[in-house]
Amino acid sequence: MTATFFDAFTPHEVARISAAGTHLTLPAGWSPIWEQTPADKAYILLAGTVSVRRQGEEIARLGPGDIVGESAIVGHQLRSATVVALTPLELIHLTTEAVQQLRRDLPRFRDEIDAVAAARLR
């Protein structure tokens, strides 16, 4: 696994992944993902920092180049954590369908997202 999720990809692949999603900005304090909710989206952080919390306790901080929300999609389960924006965020919003399509079309995307999900599900 690489330093951040996006580090594993060529510029062409990054462009393809970015095009599969919608670019969003969210304010600090916003929570785009809630624990124990259905897996309907994932986000790639372009700018800003998030706190990943399980049962209210912070288990990780993630920043630019990282992905969140992938574990529940890959594992076909409810969310295992809540994500809270500590700063304003710029993100790529990927629907479950977009994630699954990218997994089919880009073997490197599938390998990287599966590796991130496996590490986080341990």
Summarised one tens digit per residue, pLDDT across range 48-96 is 999 999 999 999 999 999 999 999 999 889 999 999 999 999 999 999 9
pTM of the full predicted structure?
0.91
Q: What is the pLDDT of residues 5-31, one digit of tens each?
A: 888 899 999 999 999 999 999 999 999
Q: What is the CATH number of the domain that holds 71?
A: 2.60.120.10
Q: What's the domain count of the chain?
A: 1
Q: Is 88 exposed, middle or buried (0-12, 13-18, 19+ CB in 10 A)?
A: middle
- Are residues 34 and 79 in contact, defined by beta-carbon separation less than 8 angstroms? yes
* Domain containing residue 52: 5-121
